[in-house]
Structure 1
Amino acid sequence: MKFLPGLNLFDDAFDDMFFDPIFTKKSSNIMKTDVTEKDGNYLLDMELPGYGKEDIKIELKDGYLNVSASKNTSNEEKDDKGNVIRQERYTGSCSRSFYVGDGVKETDIKAKFENGELKIVVPVDAPKEVEEKKFIAIE
């Protein structure tokens, strides 16, 4: 087998989309979140393009607000005779966690999903008084 100058046998090995820097950048764009504080509340604006309200789950546990989204889709195209000419499947999930404090209850949190953007309002947990250090004298 003859190789042409300038061509590498392994050039095609890394043409897969998983090695493409553009693909990896796109996957890191999922669940981009802006967190701001206003009027005693944290406002979380989270981008979830391609997901629906039914795909998203919000949970409060041990002071952590956990937001997860998962989607399973199947797209099948058939010709006039019923033969499959193309079939694609997508399965994916993503999640983020935010510490909101132990004093926040699920009834205090409000969430709204519109046009691929999840908006969550969480009250700022009042800081607990930190116990002052007390030293014990050594005899």
Structure 2
Amino acid sequence: MFGMIPFTREENSLWNYLDNMEKSLFTGFGDMSQFRCDIQDKGDHYLLEAELPGFQKEDISLDLNGDTMVITARHNSEKEEKGEGNYLRRERKYGSYSRSFNVSGINTEGIKAAYTNGILEITLPKQAEVAPAARTIQIEG
């Protein structure tokens, strides 16, 4: 755990400086990551499950634009800034996270979504396969 205690006794040396720089470099990449999703094939539909802990249902939007579905989740920092007290350490991040998915081959009119216990479940019904029409071709000549 990097710097879990806000007040530490560290020597002011070049090695500690380089070690702290390396820790902040690698933990910084984790902050830019997107939320995790699982997609299952359930036969007649796909089930997409997105991990969005700490969000309210009102903070999440699901938008369709052509063959692209975008899930966006926003943490509102204005709510938290009204709290009282001086922070010694603040690690929770505020901002928005989004992911886009290709939904070609999906019946977009039948998409359903539910949000329970930090998991967004989206049911994506598959489009019915269109069988090619059979016909007889006349031979000329």
Task: Verify same fold: TM over 0.5.
Answer: yes
2 CA distance for matches of 1:43 and 1:111? 10
Shift of 1:7: 3.0
1:51 counterpart residue number: 55
1:14 counterpart residue number: 21
Shift of 1:115: 0.6
Q: Is 1:94 the counterpart of 2:97 in the alignment?
A: yes
Matched ranges for 1:107-122 at <5 A: 107-122=109-124
Over 3 Å counting, the alpha-carbon distance change for 1:95 and 1:127 in structure 2 is farther
Specify which structure has the higher proportion of helix. 2
> Identical aligned pairs, as a percentage?
32
Show structure 1 runs of 4+ deviating over 6 A: none
The root-mean-square deviation of aligned C-alpha atoms, in Å, is: 3.2
1 CA distance for matches of 2:54 and 2:96? 12
Specify which structure has the higher proportion of strand. 1
TM-score, normalised relative to structure 1: 0.65
Q: Is 1:40 the counterpart of 2:21 in the alignment?
A: no
Shift of 1:111: 0.3
Letter of the structure 1 residue corresponding to residue 99 of structure 2? R
2:10 counterpart residue number: none
Q: Deviations over 1:4-48 (max 9, x none)?
A: xx735953772674x1x24533652x4211001113101001101
Q: Deviations over 1:23-82 (max 9, x none)?
A: 533652x4211001113101001101111111100011111111111111224324xxxx
> Unpaired segments of 5 or more residues in structure 1?
1-5, 79-84, 130-139
TM-score, normalised relative to structure 2: 0.64
State the number of aligned residues. 115
Over 3 Å counting, the alpha-carbon distance change for 1:90 and 1:128 in structure 2 is same
2:30 counterpart residue number: 25
1 CA distance for matches of 2:130 and 2:46? 18
Checking the alignment, whether the CA contact within 8 Å between 1:43 and 1:120 is kept in structure 2 is yes
> Unpaired segments of 5 or more residues in structure 2?
1-12, 132-141
Q: 2:68 aligns with which of 50, 64, 78?
A: 64
